[in-house]
Amino acid sequence: MTDVTDDIAEEISFQGFDDDCRLLQSLLNDVLHREVGPKFMEKVERTRVLAQGACNMRMAGIEDTAELLEKQLASELSKMTLEEALDLARTFSHYLNLMGIAETHHRVRKTRGVAQLSKSCDDIFNHLLQSGVPPDQLYDTVCKQAVEIVLTAHPTQINRRTLQYKHIRIAHLLEYNDRPDLGIEDREMLIEDLVREMTSIWQTDELRRHKPTPVDEARAGLHIVEQTLWKAVPHYLHRVSNALKKHTGRPLPLTCTPIRFGSWMGGDRDGNPNVTAKVTKDVSLLSRWMAIDLYVREVDSLRFELSMTQCSERFARLAHEILEKGNSSDNHFDSWNHSSNWSQSKHQGQHAPPFPTQLPTRADLPSCTACSDVESHYPRLALPGTGVIPLKNQDGRTTSKVGPLDGDSSKNTEKAYGNGNITPRSASLSSSQLLQRKLFAETQVGRASFQKLMEPSSSHKPGIAPYRIVLGDVKEKLLKSRKRLELLLEDLPCDHDPMDYYETSDQLLEPLLLCYDSLQSCGSGVLADGRLADLIRRVSTFGMVLMKLDLRQESGRHSEALDAITKYLDMGTYSEWDEEQKLDFLIKELKGKRPLVPPTIEVPPDVKEVLDTFKVAAELGSDSLGAYVISMASNASDVLAVELLQKDARLAVAGELGRPCPGGTLRVVPLFETVKDLREAGSVIRRLLSIDWYRDHVIKNHNGHQEVMVGYSDSGKDAGRFTAAWELYKAQEDVVAACNENGIKITLFHGRGGSIGRGGGPTYLAIQSQPPGSVMGSLRSTEQGEMVQAKFGLPQMAVRQLEIYTTAVLLATLRPPQPPREQKWRNLMDDISNLSCRSYRSTVYENPEFLTSMKQHLRLS
C-alpha cells in the first residue's frame, strides 16, 4: 500500500485498523455460515490455520515442520471438489478485499487526526518559505503549475465496477462507525447495513464474463470521475487555496487549477484493433455528455440555493436581457410585458429599477417546482383532472407531460400512473366517487379551485430571484448541449444554433463568474465561496470533456499509411527511403498549402483506419483531444509523419465544413521506450528543433512547448529495471538539454504503471528523483488499471494523492535535486548498468529454458 499513500515513513497506531478487521471478519463469517453452511466454514478455518502455521514455521526457520504443514494443506485441498475450491478461493479473496478496505479507511482516519500532514500543501509551503523561497515566487509557481494525471485501462484491473461500488459503501459505513455520538440503535443499524453489503457481494459474480470493450473501459474511467474526483477536486483546490493564503497572503485564483486529468481509454490504439476511429469519437462525445450531465445537476442545486434578491447592476441587466429574450420568444412572458414599465423607463432615460415588479408565472422558481418539458428528477404532483401522459420524443425516448385526461376514468388512471412512479390516492375510491371528482375537476370552477389551492397566496409568494433567472438560462443551454450530444452520438442531424449551447468551458464560466462577482459585491462572499465556487473550480479543472482523450498509435502504422499514399501518387515507397529523404519529403509537404491525400484514394482497411483516426481528430480538435502519442518513436521523421497526416486531415475536414476545424492541432508526442531509442532521444529532439518549420509550429501552436514521453514498461522488459532506470534518467537529461539549447520549454510524460516492473513505486519519491531541470512546473504521468481505483477510489484518498502530486512537483521545480557531481560516479553507474543488463538478457532472452521454466512456475503457482 506504500504506492497508494506515499506515507511510508509515518508512525501510526493500528488499533483502529485491528478493530475494523475483527469486525469485518466476524460479520463475513456470519454471512458465510448462512450462505455456505458451517461444515464448509470448518474447512475454511482449517485451511487458514494450516497456511498461517506453515508461514510462521518458515519465518522461524523450522523448515521440517513447515514442509509437513504444507503437505497436509496440499492433501486437503486436492480432496476438494471444484465447487468447494471455488468457494474457498472466493472466501479468501473477499477476506483480503475487506482487509484492504479497512487499511485504506485507517489511513484516511489517521490523516484526519494529524495537525500538519507531511507532504501536505501546508507543510511544503512552510518548508519552502523557511528555506528562502520568496512568497511571491511560491505563489506564482503554484498558480502556473501544470500537472496532468492520465488515466489508462489495463488488463490487471479485473474488479467489476459493481463490486468497487459495494466496497466503497463498506468504506463509508466504517467511516460512519467512527462517529463518537453513535447510539446503540444506530450501531445496530450500521451492522445490519454491513451485513447486507457483504451478502450482496457474496451473491455477486466477481468475474467479467465478457471481455470489456474500449467503451466499457472508458465508462469505468468516467465512473472514477463521477464517483470520487468530482468531490475531491474542489476539496483539494480549497486546501491549496487556504495554504497559499496562509503563507503568502493570497488565495488561489478561482479559475486556476494546478492539476488536470487526461485519459487513454478509447484513444490508445497501439496493438488494440478494437479501438477504432468511431470508438474514439463516441468516447469523446460520451465524456462531453457526462460532463454536461454533471453540470446540470450542480446548476440545479445551485438554483435552489441562490434564492436571494440583491445583486449588482451588471447582473441585473443580464437577468433583464434573459427575460426580454424569453418575452420575445415565448407568450409565457406576455403578462409581465403589460404590467412592467422597466424597459420603457430605461428608454426614456429614467433610472431603471434593478428588477421589474412582476415576473412571469414560475419564472423565478427553481426547477424542482417548475413544470417544464425536460425530464425532472423530482416526482410531479398530478392535480385531479390531470395526469402524466407518456409521450414519445423524436428519438423514441419516453417523456412525461401534465395534461387533462380524456375518456374512461380507468384508462386515464392507467395513462397517468402506468409508469409506476406515482400511486394515485384515488385508486381505492369507488367508481361513483371517481366519476364525481372527475366531473368536478373538469369544470372551470374545479380547475381554478385546485390551482388556487396549490399556489401560494400573494402574501407568501417569493420575491424576485435574479440568480435563479440567470442560472435557469445556464441550465437551459446545458440541456440543449446535452441533447445535441445525444443526437451526435446517434449520428442524427443536429442543426442547433451555436448560441443555444455551450461548446467551451469559457462560455459556461462567464455567467458563473458573473454570479460570483455579484454575490461578492453585495456582501454575500460566504455564499459565493460555497457551492458556486466549487462549481467554478470544477469547470476550470474538467472543462467540457472531463478528461481530454489522448490518441496513441505505433510509428510503423504511420509509415504504412504514407507508403500507400506515395505509391498511389507514383512517388515510390516511403518506408524504403532513408531518414534524410523522408525529412525532405515531409518538410516540403508540410510547407505546402494543398492536401496530399486525394479524396478518391483506395487503401487497405488498416491504412483507412489510420486516416479515419486523423479525420476524427480534425473534427474533434484540441478542445476534446489531448496529445497524439507515437509509440516506438525512433526518428525525427516519425514525428513529422504524424504532423503531415494531421495537417492533411484538417485541410480536408475544413473543406467539407466550409470553415476552420474546431480547436487547434494536437500535440505530437514521441514515446521513447527501448534502451536504444532512449539513448537517441536527445538527438531526435535536436534534429526536430533544427527544422525551421517544426520549431515555428511548436512556438506558434503549442506556446513554445515540446512534450516527450518516456516508457517505463518496455524499457524494463528490454534491459531490466536497473538499466532501464539509469537509461531513463540519462535520456531525460539529454532531452531537457536539447530543448534548452533551442529555447523551447519541455514537459516530460512518464508512462508509469503500478508494479515495480512498470515503473511503479511511491509517486512522491519518483517525482523527487527526476533529473534536475526536468520538472519545471509541468509534468504528465499515467495512472494505470488497478492503481486508479487504489489511489482515487475514495474522495479522501484522491485529495491526498492530488496534494502529493502538487507538492512533489513544486519541490522538484523550486528545490530540484543536485546532479551527480563527479564523473566517476556516472562511470560507476554505467558499469553497474552494463553488468545488470547482461545478466538480465542472458537470463530472459538467451536462455532457451527460460520460457519452459516460467511456464512450469506459472502452472505450479
pLDDT above 60 (res 366): no
Helices (H), 490-602: 505-521, 525-527, 533-542, 555-568, 579-591
| pLDDT, tens digit (0-9, with 9 covering 90-100), for 129-149 | 999 999 999 999 999 999 999
CATH of domain 555-761+773-792: 3.20.20
Residue 819 burial class via C-beta count within 10 angstroms: exposed 0-12, middle 13-18, buried 19 and up = exposed
Q: Which of 111-120, 238-247, 780-789 has the lowest mean pLDDT?
A: 111-120
Q: How far is CA 369 from CA 333, 361, 372, 465, 794, in A?
A: 18, 12, 9, 14, 33
Whether residue 340 is predicted with pLDDT greater than 90 in this model: the reply is no
pLDDT at 209: 76
Domain boundaries, the chain: 1-115+159-207, 386-460, 555-761+773-792, 820-861
The residue count for the chain: 861
Cα angle 681, 683, 689; round to 5? 105
Given a cut of 90, whether residue 761 has pLDDT beyond it is: no
| Whole-prediction pTM | 0.81
∠ Cα 835 837 841 (to 5°)? 125
Confidence tier at 542 by pLDDT (50, 70, 90): very high
Strand partners, 149: 261, 781
Alpha carbons 814 and 789: distance in angstroms, whole number: 31
The Cβ of residue 461 has, within 10 Å, a number of other Cβ atoms equal to 11
Helix or strand or coil: residue 751?
Answer: strand
Q: Any idea what DSSP says for residue 268?
A: B
Q: Evaluate if residue 660 carries a pLDDT over 50.
A: yes
User: Which one, of 491, 542, 537, 546, lies nearest residue 512 by Cα?
Assistant: 537
What pLDDT score does 691 carry? 96
Cα 362 from chain centre: 37
Mean pLDDT of all residues in 183-188: 92
CA–CA–CA angle 264, 270, 276 (5° rounding): 75
**Rounded-to-integer distance, Cα 30 and Cα 37, Å:** 10
Three-class SS state of 706: strand
Instruction: Give burial (CB, 10 Å; 0-12/13-18/19+) of 408.
Output: exposed
Cell numbers for 685: 529532439
User: Considering the chain, what is the average pLDDT of its residues?
Assistant: 83
Look at residue 453 in the predicted model and tell me its pLDDT: 66
> Alpha-carbon distance 367 to 828, whole Å?
70
Lowest average pLDDT, out of 125-129, 132-136, 680-684, 815-819, goes to 815-819
How far apart CA 256 and CA 236 sit, in angstroms, is: 12
256 neighbors 143 (Cβ within 8 angstroms): yes
| Amino acid symbol at 516 | Y
Catalytic residues: 154, 717
Grid coordinates of 582: 523522408
Instruction: With a cut of 60, say whether residue 780 has pLDDT above it.
Output: yes
Cβ proximity of 479 and 374 under 8 Å: yes
Please compute the mean of the pLDDT values over residues 292-298 and round it to a whole number: 96
Residue 115's pLDDT is what? 57
The yes-or-no verdict on residue 371 having pLDDT over 60 is no
> What's the pLDDT band for 355 if we cut at 50, 70, 90?
very low
Q: Which of 670, 664, 659 is nearest to 617 (CA)?
A: 664
Can you give the pLDDT at residue 329? Answer: 55
**Vertex 57: Cα angle to 50 and 72 (nearest 5):** 35
Looking at residue 756, what is its pLDDT? 74
**DSSP β-bridge partners for residue 366:** none
pLDDT tens digit sequence for 214-233: 888 888 889 889 989 999 99
Q: Which residue, 674, 741, 742, 748, is CA-closest to 707? A: 748
Model confidence over 566-595: pLDDT tens digits?
999 999 999 999 999 999 999 999 999 888
Give 693-733 pLDDT, tens digit per residue: 999 999 999 999 999 999 988 888 888 999 999 999 999 99
